[in-house]
Amino acid sequence: MFKDMDIMIYRDSLESIVLKGKLEPGDFSLRGDVSSQFVSGMLFVLPLLNGDSTLTVTGDFQSQSYVDMTVKVMEDFGVTVRREGDTYFVSGNQAYKPIDYEVEGDYSQAAYFLAAGALAGRTEVLGLNHSSIQGDKEILRILEKMGAKVNRIENGYEVEQSKLRALDIDISDTPDLAPVLGVLLSLSEGTGKLMNCDRLRYKESDRVQSTIELIRSLGGEAEEEESSIVIKGRESLRGGHVYSFNDHRIVMAAAVASLRCTEPVKIEGFEAVKKSYPEFFRDFEKIAR
């Protein structure tokens, strides 16, 4: 896309990328089945251009909830965006306005602790907005559908250990939940699927492969079937050596799985967790004692 606008992007060294050229307003299009981050990035910059623009998402628009959050934040900071179907209309010459802003608790990170409660005891996760539009809030509905006891409490949620039932889960709009959902299915009664997994291949790792390898390395059963991951549940996992694939979500999912393993779990490359949650293991120890 940028090449068509005479914008040059090249690597200057291992640590730096050089961009040359000026982004002009216009009509843009991006595929919706690769990464919602590309869409969010363009939306953030379009109001700052000196004219009106449109951004059309082509193909299968996945992870829409993440883009919805982007638009909500833009509006909170004084910028207007209009959507019709899969096209966003953005007026130029706008400006973001400074405000006092309270950042919500992150449901994608909370998911690991909520899942831990369903598998091994009881956890309370605080700082979660009950009315949040975060797509990964879907973890609550999935846990309830699997049979977990989910209680709404002041400023968050409580989840109690329950006997879980496997089911088929469409993760097209919540791909970041895939590894921990894979762990939950591996420790449920029956066989379930993570469906519409194609976009998982474009994450920090190929999460189709890394999620399957995570489950297998702990003694579980998982296999790829077209665009799905099929997982056979069991009462517990064996434990063992897990390779992180330098993927923070694989690390955190492995930690959750360890709560129901009969042997210790060793995570090679656990440092990858620093990308999104540097203090994860400090917090995880609070529920793993």
Q: What is the mean pLDDT of the chain?
A: 93
CATH number at residue 25: 3.65.10.10
* Same domain, residue pair 189 and 47: no
Instruction: Give the model's pLDDT for residue 272.
Output: 96
Two structure tokens written together for 93: 């010459």
Return the closest-CA partner of residue 76 out of 106, 103, 57: 103
Integer CA distances (angstroms), 7 to 20, 38, 208, in order: 6, 16, 34
pLDDT score for 21: 87
Per the CB < 8 A criterion, the answer to whether 166 and 233 are in contact is yes
Q: Of 31, 59, 90, which one is at a domain's C-terminal end?
A: 90
Q: Are residues 77 and 113 in the same domain?
A: no
**What is the number of other CB atoms lying within 10 angstroms of the CB of residue 27?**
10
Question: How many CA atoms, within 13 angstroms, populate the side-chain half-sphere of residue 144?
Answer: 10
Give percent of the chain with pLDDT exceeding 70: 100
* pLDDT band at residue 289 under the 50/70/90 scheme: low
Residue 6 covered by a domain: no
pLDDT on residue 63: 80
Query: Which whole number is the average pLDDT over 192-206?
Result: 87
Q: Are residues 159 and 256 in the same domain?
A: yes
84 in the same domain as 119: no
Residue 131 has pLDDT above 90, yes or no: yes
86 and 115 both lie in a single domain: no
Q: Does residue 105 have a pLDDT over 70?
A: yes
Residue with tokens 């991951």: 229
Confidence (pLDDT) at 54: 97
Average pLDDT, integer, range 154-165: 95
Residues 134 and 60 in one domain: no
Residue 118's nearest CA partner among 79, 147, 88, 85 is 147
CA quadruple 214, 219, 223, 229: dihedral positive or negative?
Answer: negative
**Which residues have a Cβ under 8 Å from the Cβ of 32 and sit 6 or more positions away?**
39, 57, 58, 59, 60, 61, 62, 86
Residue 2 lies inside a defined structural domain of this protein: no
Q: In this structure, are 84 and 113 located in the same domain?
A: no
Taking only the tens place, the pLDDT of each residue in 21-79 is 888 999 999 988 888 889 999 999 999 999 999 999 998 887 888 899 999 999 999 99
User: Looking at the domain assignment, is residue 23 inside a domain?
Assistant: yes
Same domain as 119, residue 167: yes
What is the number of structural domains in the chain? Answer: 2
Distances (CA, A) of 16 to 1, 10, 87, 268: 21, 9, 33, 28
Q: Do 263 and 192 share a structural domain?
A: yes
- One domain for residues 189 and 71: no
Q: Is residue 95 part of a domain?
A: no
Task: Give the domain extent around 73.
Answer: 15-90
In the listed set 90, 122, 150, which residue is the last one of a domain according to the structure?
90
Please, how many CA atoms are within 13 Å of residue 170, restricted to the half-sphere of its CB?
Answer: 5
pLDDT of 1 higher than 80:
no
Across 178-196, average pLDDT: 97
Residues with catalytic function: 176
User: Is 7 part of a structural domain of the chain?
Assistant: no
Which tens digits make up the pLDDT trace of 69-99?
999 999 999 999 999 999 999 999 999 999 9
Task: Tell whether 100 is covered by a domain.
Answer: no
- In the 8-state DSSP scheme, what is residue 275? G
Neighbours of 117 (CB within 10 A): 25
Distance CA 286, CA 126 (A): 14
Q: Are 255 and 239 in contact (CB under 8 A)?
A: no
Cα first-last separation, the chain: 51
- Please compute the mean of the pLDDT values over residues 194-205 and round it to a whole number: 85
- Identify the pLDDT of residue 86: 92
Task: Say yes or no: 111 and 185 in one domain.
Answer: yes
Residue at 1 is within a domain: no
pLDDT tens by residue, 250-287 = 999 999 999 999 999 999 999 999 999 999 999 999 88
Same domain, 259 and 150: yes
Whether residue 96 lies inside any domain: the answer is no
Residue 276 one-letter amino acid: S
* pLDDT (0 to 100) of residue 34: 80
